[in-house]
Amino acid sequence: MASSEQDTEALVHSDDANHPANHICTLCAKFYNLGWVTGTGGGTSIRHEDKIYIAPSGVQKELLKPTDMFVMDFNSKAYLRKPDTLKPSACTPLFFAAFERGAGCCIHTHSQWAVLATLLVERDSGKDACFEIEEIEQIKGIPKGRNKQGYLGYYDRLSIPIIENTAHEEDLRESLEEAMEKYPDSYAILVKRHGIYVWGDNVHKAKTQCESIDYILQLAVEMKKLGLPWTK
């Protein structure tokens, strides 16, 4: 094996379970069991120093291997490793939008609760669509926002903007970035009839926030069935 090829393969070979190439495989297997990434949908990406590790497109997420990972340079956006037989994730531009705002991990799911929640939010005339809920204990699992210390409290309102879906995932970037700028304290964006993007400062926080938000969205759907309001 040539030296350059050895260097490339070294990017995804590690005995450390927390190495990004290994960690993404573990996370995606867990997300599959939660029903978040069925049918090859969804994806996960981790920033490690100046490198971005990304799960490929069109691959069953519960069967991912470290050698399936794409690796990019954060600054140049050039591929450092690109498996010949796999397709780069269509989510890549959206992951980068989160990383450019300081995220260390970004998770995209096709959670049914996320999709249903987007359909239950009515767009008021002249107002952007946004999922909002308050006085739910699990809100405490969500940070207050960029450049702010601590987490939301029980009496705080959780707001998650909703953007319209597009035929091609990469075309979501512009509207996703607009929502990020309009809601700078949000760590998630819902995509109507599609799913959700959640990011965090590191893998632990992104996973915790994704789990907390999914719990809240499921609860919100059940509350709507019972005629219970999401906000006071």
- CATH architecture type of domain 111-232: 3-Layer(aba) Sandwich (3.40)
Domain ranges for the chain: 1-89, 111-232
Helix (H) or strand (E) holding 134: strand 130-134
Residues β-bridged to residue 139: none
Side chain identity at residue 99, one-letter code: F
Q: Model's pTM, two decimal places?
A: 0.94
Tokens found for residue 165: 């879906």
Q: For residue range 156-190, list pLDDT tens digits in order.
A: 999 999 999 999 999 999 999 999 999 999 999 99
Name which of 7-11, 30-34, 40-44 the model is least confident about: 7-11
Q: Do domains 1-89 and 111-232 have the same CATH topology?
A: yes
* 91 assigned to a ligand binding site: yes
Please check if 23 is assigned to a binding site: no
Active site residues: 137
Is 108 annotated to bind a ligand? Reply is: yes
Residues with Cβ within 8 Å of residue 102, at least 6 apart in sequence = 146, 201
Q: Looking at residue 125, what is its pLDDT?
A: 43
Alpha-carbon distance of 158 to 144, in angstroms, equals 9
- pLDDT bucket at 5, cuts 50 / 70 / 90: low
Spelled out in words, what is the top-level CATH class assigned to the domain 1-89?
alpha beta
Identify the residue with better confidence: 185 or 7.
Answer: 185
Look at 30 and 9; give whichever has higher pLDDT: 30
Tell whether 194 is in a known binding site.
yes
Q: What distance in Å separates the CA atoms of residue 47 and residue 54, rounded to the nearest whole number?
A: 9
